[in-house]
Amino acid sequence: MRVRVGVVAALLVLAGCSAPVGTGDTGSPSPTWSGDADNHFRERTLTVAVNVSAESDRNFRPMVREALDYWEANAEQYAGFPVEYELASDAPDPDIEVRIVDSIENCGSESYTAGCAPILEDPEQVRRPVVVRVRDNYSTESTVSVLKHELGHTLGLHHGDAPEQVMQHRSQLTTLPQPDATERAMPWPDPELSVYVDYANVSADERDATERQVQGALGYFADGADGTVPDNVSFVRTDNRTAADVVVAFGEEAPCTAGAGSCGSLRGRDPDGDGALETFTGLHIVVAGVDTEARGWHVGFWLARGFGLTDEELPSPLASDDPSVRRSEWWE
């Protein structure tokens, strides 16, 4: 038996919202601006403050500085005018305020974003301080990427504008380190798991007995699997294979073994990018060439893997190599 793991990496939204024109106090300090006409800030040097409202002891100032340095080197090429930034965290009246927050709400039409800033193109849209919001739970590299993107919006750049690697609407981001699924008591987002069982390759005279085996395995885990899984785990059967959390299929051959046996394939999310899944979102079990009375054991073995249980953590019936145990009503 072999585990196959598939990683599903999340592409998170980097958002910008159009700023209204002609409302509020623009606070423009240079009414007789004679510089670059494309510069809607009407200032060459912009003061930037950093406000950390999230509960974090990280130093975000170097990350902000790296993003500002990027636009000092590239704003003229991509935004059409040069810009310089003075990073002064305690500035009383900054031109731009970078807010590090634990969540972002009300950012245009997006319901979940990594960052948010207004898209500024006209001097009448610039109301100081221009607020850039960035979530606090991303890795240093990803935080810098989000900052570059959101600062690009303040320079007038839209999603898809050059440089595309900075201004794309969605980006693969990594969070700070998180516990792996195998380290969590509940590695699934929801303790109620939907189950689809494919009996297409099970003969009619074996179907009832096979269903009893499957139900035995599911019931064992719903009852806590001898204390190895949380007591709020439950299963609901579904006819929608595509939407099921767990798919159990039977056949004459399994994709990972020659001869009788079983395979399990887990998929899930790896938001911190460490190569290990932090949460599971799908489990596909294939049982092939196994006697009817042992099919429940194989389903149970892979369900245990689906709850992050390693060999040393398996409940005793599922850790046994004794064929008589596998063919018994071990779930009772």
Residue bearing tokens 């006697």: 291
Neighbours of 10 (CB within 10 A): 14
Position 107 confidence tier, pLDDT thresholds 50, 70, 90: confident
Distance CA 234, CA 214 (A): 14
* Whole-number pLDDT of residue 25: 52
Classify residue 287 as exposed, middle or buried by CB count within 10 Å of its CB (0-12, 13-18, 19+). Answer: buried
* Whole-number pLDDT of residue 23: 45
Contact assessment for residue 316 and residue 282, using Cβ atoms and an 8 Å cutoff: no
Q: What percent of the chain has pLDDT over 70?
A: 89
Token couple for 174: 């990594």
Mean pLDDT of 242-267: 87
Contact assessment for residue 51 and residue 98, using Cβ atoms and an 8 Å cutoff: yes
Condensed to tens digits (0 to 9), the pLDDT of residues 181-239 reads 999 999 999 999 999 999 999 999 999 999 999 999 999 999 999 999 999 999 999 99
Token couple for 114: 């990594």
* Whole-number pLDDT of residue 111: 58
Q: Which helix (H) or strand (E) holds 134?
A: strand 130-135
Above 90 in pLDDT, residue 330?
Answer: yes
Q: What is the pTM of this model?
A: 0.72
* Whole-number pLDDT of residue 286: 95
Above 60 in pLDDT, residue 26?
Answer: no
Residue bearing tokens 């958002």: 15
Contact assessment for residue 127 and residue 27, using Cβ atoms and an 8 Å cutoff: yes
* Whole-number pLDDT of residue 170: 83
- Tell me, what amino acid is at 331? W
Residues 6+ apart with CB under 8 A from 204: none
Distance CA 74, CA 78 (A): 6
Above 70 in pLDDT, residue 146?
Answer: yes
Residue spans of beta strands (DSSP E) within 94-230: 96-101, 115-119, 130-135, 170-172, 192-198
